[in-house]
Homo-oligomer: A and B are copies of this chain.
Amino acid sequence: MEAGRQRQGRLWSNLKEVCDLLHIYIPTMSSIGDEELLFQHVQFKSGQRIHTIGQPFDTLYIVNSGFLKTLLIDEFGNEQVLSFPMKGDILGVDGIHSKQHASEAVALSDCDLILLPFKKLTALGRTHIEMEHAMYSVMSRELVREQAMVGMLGALSAEARVARFLVSLSDRYSQMGYSSKLFNLRMTRHEIGSYLGLTLETVSRTLSAFNEIGMITVDQRTICIRELDALKTLRRLPPSRSRAKQLAANKLKSAANKAPPPNGESWGQFVTA
């Protein structure tokens, strides 16, 4: 919780801290900062809901610390996870259009969020062109992200989805200053499955398979990335006939000469279009 200062027994952040979180660089920031605009923080405990579907919208949130999920709920009450926001991510953009939140956000850990009253933001945008453009930019970025998600759901196999999920987590952890190799999942297999359009069993099995291959080590929620490049380029494991052959071959080899069976190289050949 680097950003923020105490005032009235609460944490507040100034505009610069908010922009830094969002990875927005504003050259004339100092002149804006002079006004000492402050944004209030709010804390949520794990499991608490930040907003619900249909709830009136009037403020955006930025994640300062902690982990969350956002979700849609279909007509039968089933959750569809849309994203796993973490530090620097923005929440609530989908509420602008209808002035009601279109999704639900839930804390997966204790969280510290910064409140961005939408009216305050737009007013700011009016006096500072850079801020205005920053807002358009952030919204556009969210859209691009969703499009990438659609592309992934539309085109990739289960294994490729899980692999990309791990890679993106790795990226984000490293951006946040944590290890990109060794980290803990903050969400259940069920939530991952929902996010990726898979069942929790498929997620579990896929992680186990990656583990067996040696691309990762997995134990419950602890993940260790061993072959990042292999994960990045993986599109589809070989069809089961050849995979069966390969597995058999590997078993033979490892049985014969106690050598560690498959490595990143030996799986490169299976990274197919």
Residues of A within 8 A of B (CB): 72, 74, 76, 78, 80, 82, 93-98, 102-103, 122, 125-126, 129, 132-133, 135-144, 146-151, 153-155, 194-197, 273
**Subset of 24 A-B contacts with CB under 8 Å:** A72-B148, A72-B151, A93-B140, A93-B143, A96-B139, A97-B137, A97-B140, A97-B141, A97-B144, A102-B147, A122-B129, A122-B136, A126-B129, A132-B132, A143-B143, A146-B147, A146-B150, A150-B153, A153-B153, A153-B154, A153-B197, A154-B195, A154-B196, A154-B197
A95 contact set on B, CB distance < 8 A: 140
- Is B136 touching A94 in the complex (CB atoms < 8 A)? no
Residues of B within 8 A of A196 (CB): 154
A132: nearest chain-B partner, CB-CB = B122
Residues of B with C-beta under 8 A to A94: 140, 143-144, 147
Partner of A132, one of B126, B137, B146: B126
Residues of B within 8 A of A135 (CB): 136
Alpha-carbon distance between A194 and B144 when the two chains are bound, in angstroms: 18
Considering residues A126, A135, A139, which has the most beta carbons from chain B within 10 angstroms of its beta carbon? Answer: A139
